[in-house]
Structure 1
Amino acid sequence: MTTRHARCLCGAVRATIRGELDDIAACHCSQCRRWSGHVWAAVPVPDDGLEIEGEDHLRWFKSSDKAERGFCDTCGSSIFWRAFGRGETDVALGCIEPPTGLHLQRHIWVGDKGDYYEIADGVPQDGQE
Protein backbone atom coordinates (compact mmCIF):
# COMPACT_ATOMS: atom_id res chain seq x y z
CA MET A 1 0.00 0.00 0.00
CA THR A 2 1.31 3.43 -0.95
CA THR A 3 1.71 5.98 1.85
CA ARG A 4 2.16 9.71 1.31
CA HIS A 5 2.44 12.59 3.75
CA ALA A 6 1.01 16.09 3.51
CA ARG A 7 1.29 19.18 5.65
CA CYS A 8 0.48 22.85 5.77
CA LEU A 9 3.20 25.49 5.39
CA CYS A 10 4.03 25.67 9.11
CA GLY A 11 3.54 21.95 9.80
CA ALA A 12 0.85 22.41 12.46
CA VAL A 13 -1.61 20.33 10.37
CA ARG A 14 -0.30 17.09 8.92
CA ALA A 15 -1.89 14.17 7.12
CA THR A 16 -0.98 10.61 6.26
CA ILE A 17 -2.55 9.33 3.04
CA ARG A 18 -2.79 5.59 2.46
CA GLY A 19 -3.81 3.86 -0.75
CA GLU A 20 -3.74 4.49 -4.45
CA LEU A 21 -4.91 7.89 -5.66
CA ASP A 22 -6.85 8.74 -8.81
CA ASP A 23 -8.93 11.55 -10.34
CA ILE A 24 -6.30 14.25 -9.80
CA ALA A 25 -7.89 17.52 -10.89
CA ALA A 26 -7.24 21.23 -11.10
CA CYS A 27 -10.37 23.27 -10.36
CA HIS A 28 -10.76 26.67 -12.00
CA CYS A 29 -14.05 27.77 -10.37
CA SER A 30 -14.15 31.21 -8.79
CA GLN A 31 -14.41 29.81 -5.23
CA CYS A 32 -11.30 27.64 -5.65
CA ARG A 33 -9.36 30.48 -7.25
CA ARG A 34 -10.20 32.77 -4.33
CA TRP A 35 -9.46 29.97 -1.83
CA SER A 36 -6.05 29.11 -3.24
CA GLY A 37 -4.98 32.35 -4.87
CA HIS A 38 -5.02 30.80 -8.35
CA VAL A 39 -6.03 27.23 -9.27
CA TRP A 40 -6.94 24.54 -6.70
CA ALA A 41 -5.26 21.24 -7.57
CA ALA A 42 -6.24 18.29 -5.41
CA VAL A 43 -6.78 14.56 -5.18
CA PRO A 44 -9.72 12.84 -3.46
CA VAL A 45 -8.76 10.50 -0.62
CA PRO A 46 -11.28 8.07 0.92
CA ASP A 47 -11.85 9.03 4.54
CA ASP A 48 -10.59 5.63 5.72
CA GLY A 49 -7.28 6.33 3.94
CA LEU A 50 -6.72 9.76 5.51
CA GLU A 51 -5.32 10.37 8.98
CA ILE A 52 -5.13 14.01 10.09
CA GLU A 53 -2.88 15.24 12.90
CA GLY A 54 -2.95 18.69 14.46
CA GLU A 55 -6.72 18.99 14.23
CA ASP A 56 -6.60 21.65 16.96
CA HIS A 57 -5.11 23.92 14.25
CA LEU A 58 -7.50 22.81 11.51
CA ARG A 59 -10.48 25.05 10.82
CA TRP A 60 -13.35 24.29 8.45
CA PHE A 61 -15.17 26.93 6.44
CA LYS A 62 -18.60 26.02 5.03
CA SER A 63 -18.18 27.48 1.54
CA SER A 64 -21.58 26.34 0.21
CA ASP A 65 -24.56 24.19 1.14
CA LYS A 66 -22.67 21.24 -0.38
CA ALA A 67 -19.06 21.54 0.79
CA GLU A 68 -16.52 22.86 3.26
CA ARG A 69 -12.83 23.80 3.07
CA GLY A 70 -10.16 23.06 5.66
CA PHE A 71 -7.25 25.37 6.45
CA CYS A 72 -4.54 25.84 9.07
CA ASP A 73 -5.38 28.51 11.63
CA THR A 74 -1.69 29.27 12.14
CA CYS A 75 -0.27 29.74 8.63
CA GLY A 76 -3.50 29.94 6.61
CA SER A 77 -2.64 27.11 4.20
CA SER A 78 -5.56 25.79 2.16
CA ILE A 79 -5.32 22.03 2.71
CA PHE A 80 -8.65 20.21 2.31
CA TRP A 81 -11.98 20.35 0.49
CA ARG A 82 -14.86 17.98 1.08
CA ALA A 83 -18.43 17.63 -0.08
CA PHE A 84 -20.87 16.71 2.68
CA GLY A 85 -21.70 13.01 2.77
CA ARG A 86 -19.26 12.00 0.03
CA GLY A 87 -16.96 9.87 2.22
CA GLU A 88 -13.76 11.38 0.90
CA THR A 89 -11.68 14.51 1.36
CA ASP A 90 -9.73 16.27 -1.35
CA VAL A 91 -6.13 17.01 -0.34
CA ALA A 92 -4.27 19.91 -1.96
CA LEU A 93 -1.51 18.61 -4.22
CA GLY A 94 0.80 21.40 -3.11
CA CYS A 95 0.63 20.10 0.48
CA ILE A 96 1.72 16.56 -0.42
CA GLU A 97 5.40 15.91 0.22
CA PRO A 98 7.42 15.20 -2.95
CA PRO A 99 7.98 13.07 -4.77
CA THR A 100 4.22 12.64 -5.14
CA GLY A 101 4.28 10.31 -8.14
CA LEU A 102 1.00 11.94 -9.19
CA HIS A 103 0.00 13.56 -12.48
CA LEU A 104 -2.84 15.94 -13.26
CA GLN A 105 -5.65 14.05 -15.03
CA ARG A 106 -8.20 16.78 -15.75
CA HIS A 107 -9.14 20.41 -15.42
CA ILE A 108 -12.63 21.14 -14.07
CA TRP A 109 -14.88 24.19 -14.15
CA VAL A 110 -12.77 25.70 -16.91
CA GLY A 111 -15.72 27.78 -18.09
CA ASP A 112 -15.32 29.77 -14.86
CA LYS A 113 -11.52 30.16 -15.06
CA GLY A 114 -9.77 33.48 -14.61
CA ASP A 115 -9.29 35.69 -17.65
CA TYR A 116 -5.58 36.15 -16.90
CA TYR A 117 -4.32 32.72 -18.02
CA GLU A 118 -4.75 30.00 -20.63
CA ILE A 119 -4.81 26.24 -20.12
CA ALA A 120 -2.43 24.77 -22.68
CA ASP A 121 -1.04 21.60 -21.10
CA GLY A 122 -3.11 19.14 -23.16
CA VAL A 123 -4.84 17.67 -20.08
CA PRO A 124 -8.60 17.05 -20.65
CA GLN A 125 -10.90 19.90 -19.68
CA ASP A 126 -14.43 19.65 -18.22
CA GLY A 127 -17.01 22.35 -17.68
CA GLN A 128 -16.45 24.50 -20.75
CA GLU A 129 -20.10 25.44 -21.07
Structure 2
Amino acid sequence: MSDSRIFKAKCLCGEVSFKAEAPLKEVGLCHCSMCRRWNSGPFHAVGIPLDALTVEGGEENISYYRSSEYSKRAFCNNCGSSLYYHGDNIPEISNKVYFSAGLLEEPTGLKLAGHIFCASKGDYYEIEGDLPQHETVE
Protein backbone atom coordinates (compact mmCIF):
# COMPACT_ATOMS: atom_id res chain seq x y z
CA MET A 1 0.00 0.00 0.00
CA SER A 2 1.65 3.23 -1.11
CA ASP A 3 0.14 5.54 1.56
CA SER A 4 0.47 3.00 4.35
CA ARG A 5 1.81 3.87 7.76
CA ILE A 6 2.11 1.75 10.83
CA PHE A 7 -0.30 2.76 13.59
CA LYS A 8 -0.28 1.34 17.09
CA ALA A 9 -3.19 1.20 19.50
CA LYS A 10 -4.05 -0.25 22.89
CA CYS A 11 -6.97 -0.54 25.27
CA LEU A 12 -7.23 1.39 28.54
CA CYS A 13 -5.40 -1.20 30.65
CA GLY A 14 -2.86 -2.02 27.93
CA GLU A 15 -3.61 -5.75 27.97
CA VAL A 16 -4.77 -5.66 24.32
CA SER A 17 -2.57 -3.95 21.75
CA PHE A 18 -2.87 -3.64 17.99
CA LYS A 19 -0.77 -2.71 15.05
CA ALA A 20 -2.21 -1.68 11.71
CA GLU A 21 -0.38 -1.04 8.48
CA ALA A 22 -2.84 0.87 6.36
CA PRO A 23 -3.39 4.23 4.68
CA LEU A 24 -5.30 5.73 7.61
CA LYS A 25 -6.43 9.25 6.78
CA GLU A 26 -9.78 9.93 8.36
CA VAL A 27 -12.13 9.23 11.22
CA GLY A 28 -15.88 8.78 10.84
CA LEU A 29 -18.30 9.50 13.63
CA CYS A 30 -21.21 7.05 13.96
CA HIS A 31 -24.29 8.28 15.83
CA CYS A 32 -26.41 5.09 15.66
CA SER A 33 -28.04 3.91 18.88
CA MET A 34 -25.96 0.72 19.07
CA CYS A 35 -22.64 2.58 18.75
CA ARG A 36 -23.76 5.15 21.33
CA ARG A 37 -24.66 2.40 23.81
CA TRP A 38 -21.48 0.43 23.11
CA ASN A 39 -19.20 3.44 23.24
CA SER A 40 -21.18 5.68 25.63
CA GLY A 41 -21.43 8.29 22.89
CA PRO A 42 -20.79 8.55 19.15
CA PHE A 43 -18.21 6.04 17.92
CA HIS A 44 -15.05 7.58 16.43
CA ALA A 45 -14.34 4.88 13.86
CA VAL A 46 -11.26 4.26 11.74
CA GLY A 47 -11.85 1.74 8.96
CA ILE A 48 -9.10 -0.50 7.65
CA PRO A 49 -8.89 -3.79 5.76
CA LEU A 50 -9.39 -6.67 8.19
CA ASP A 51 -6.12 -8.26 7.16
CA ALA A 52 -4.19 -5.04 8.00
CA LEU A 53 -5.04 -5.31 11.71
CA THR A 54 -2.69 -7.39 13.83
CA VAL A 55 -3.27 -8.11 17.50
CA GLU A 56 0.19 -7.83 19.03
CA GLY A 57 -0.72 -8.74 22.58
CA GLY A 58 -3.63 -9.85 24.68
CA GLU A 59 -5.69 -11.66 22.05
CA GLU A 60 -6.91 -13.96 24.82
CA ASN A 61 -8.42 -10.87 26.50
CA ILE A 62 -10.70 -10.03 23.56
CA SER A 63 -14.35 -11.01 23.72
CA TYR A 64 -17.02 -10.49 21.11
CA TYR A 65 -20.61 -9.45 21.42
CA ARG A 66 -22.88 -10.19 18.48
CA SER A 67 -24.85 -6.94 18.44
CA SER A 68 -26.96 -7.98 15.45
CA GLU A 69 -27.23 -10.78 12.93
CA TYR A 70 -24.92 -8.70 10.75
CA SER A 71 -22.09 -7.70 13.01
CA LYS A 72 -20.09 -8.18 16.16
CA ARG A 73 -18.22 -5.85 18.50
CA ALA A 74 -14.97 -6.57 20.28
CA PHE A 75 -14.02 -5.43 23.76
CA CYS A 76 -11.26 -6.03 26.30
CA ASN A 77 -12.22 -8.57 28.97
CA ASN A 78 -10.05 -6.85 31.55
CA CYS A 79 -10.92 -3.12 31.30
CA GLY A 80 -14.01 -3.21 29.07
CA SER A 81 -12.60 -0.89 26.38
CA SER A 82 -14.54 -0.87 23.12
CA LEU A 83 -12.04 -2.14 20.56
CA TYR A 84 -13.62 -2.60 17.15
CA TYR A 85 -16.72 -3.26 15.10
CA HIS A 86 -16.77 -5.94 12.40
CA GLY A 87 -19.69 -6.24 10.00
CA ASP A 88 -18.80 -9.85 9.33
CA ASN A 89 -22.18 -10.66 7.76
CA ILE A 90 -22.43 -7.50 5.64
CA PRO A 91 -20.86 -8.36 2.26
CA GLU A 92 -19.92 -4.75 1.42
CA ILE A 93 -17.78 -4.35 4.54
CA SER A 94 -17.02 -7.89 5.75
CA ASN A 95 -13.39 -7.43 4.68
CA LYS A 96 -13.02 -4.31 6.88
CA VAL A 97 -12.82 -3.62 10.58
CA TYR A 98 -13.66 -0.31 12.26
CA PHE A 99 -11.67 0.29 15.38
CA SER A 100 -11.92 3.07 17.94
CA ALA A 101 -9.77 6.09 17.10
CA GLY A 102 -9.40 6.69 20.84
CA LEU A 103 -7.17 3.62 21.07
CA LEU A 104 -4.51 5.08 18.76
CA GLU A 105 -1.17 6.29 20.00
CA GLU A 106 -0.70 9.96 19.18
CA PRO A 107 0.12 11.84 17.10
CA THR A 108 -2.25 10.24 14.60
CA GLY A 109 -2.37 12.85 11.86
CA LEU A 110 -6.00 11.86 11.28
CA LYS A 111 -8.91 14.22 10.66
CA LEU A 112 -12.64 13.85 11.30
CA ALA A 113 -14.24 13.35 7.87
CA GLY A 114 -17.95 13.22 8.61
CA HIS A 115 -20.93 11.74 10.41
CA ILE A 116 -23.12 8.70 9.72
CA PHE A 117 -26.49 7.59 11.12
CA CYS A 118 -27.34 11.19 12.00
CA ALA A 119 -31.05 10.34 11.83
CA SER A 120 -30.67 8.28 15.01
CA LYS A 121 -28.29 10.53 16.94
CA GLY A 122 -28.95 11.21 20.60
CA ASP A 123 -31.35 13.99 21.49
CA TYR A 124 -28.95 15.37 24.09
CA TYR A 125 -26.45 16.90 21.64
CA GLU A 126 -26.24 18.70 18.31
CA ILE A 127 -23.90 17.95 15.44
CA GLU A 128 -22.01 21.13 14.74
CA GLY A 129 -19.68 22.20 11.98
CA ASP A 130 -19.77 21.79 8.24
CA LEU A 131 -18.57 18.20 7.84
CA PRO A 132 -20.81 15.89 5.77
CA GLN A 133 -23.79 14.45 7.66
CA HIS A 134 -25.50 11.30 6.37
CA GLU A 135 -28.92 10.14 7.59
CA THR A 136 -27.78 6.48 7.45
CA VAL A 137 -24.55 5.26 5.83
CA GLU A 138 -22.80 7.09 3.04
TM-score class normalised by the smaller sequence:
over 0.9
1:92 alignment counterpart: 100
Deviation at 1:22, TM superposition (A): 4.5
CA distance in 2, matches of 1:15, 1:121: 31
1:125 alignment counterpart: 133
Confirm whether residue 61 of structure 1 aligns to residue 65 of structure 2.
yes
SS in 1 for 2:112: coil
Query: Quick one: which of 97, 115, 129 aligns to 1:107?
Result: 115
Provide the aligned length of Structure 1 versus Structure 2.
Answer: 128
TM-score by length of 2: 0.88
Q: Do 1:6 and 1:15's aligned partners in 2 also have CA atoms closer than 8 Å?
A: yes
TM-score by length of 1: 0.94
Unaligned runs of 5+ in 1: none
Which runs of at least 4 in structure 1 moved beyond 2 Å after TM superposition? none
1:6 alignment counterpart: 9
CA distance in 2, matches of 1:89, 1:101: 20
Query: Quick one: which of 102, 113, 124 aligns to 1:116?
Result: 124
Quote the sequence identity (%).
38
1:49 alignment counterpart: 52
Deviation per residue, 1:25-50 (Å, 9 max, x gap): 10000000000001101111112211
- CA-based RMSD of the aligned residues comes to 1.3
Moved more, 59-68 or 19-28: 19-28
Unaligned runs of 5+ in 2: none
Deviation at 1:20, TM superposition (A): 0.3
2:86 alignment counterpart: 82
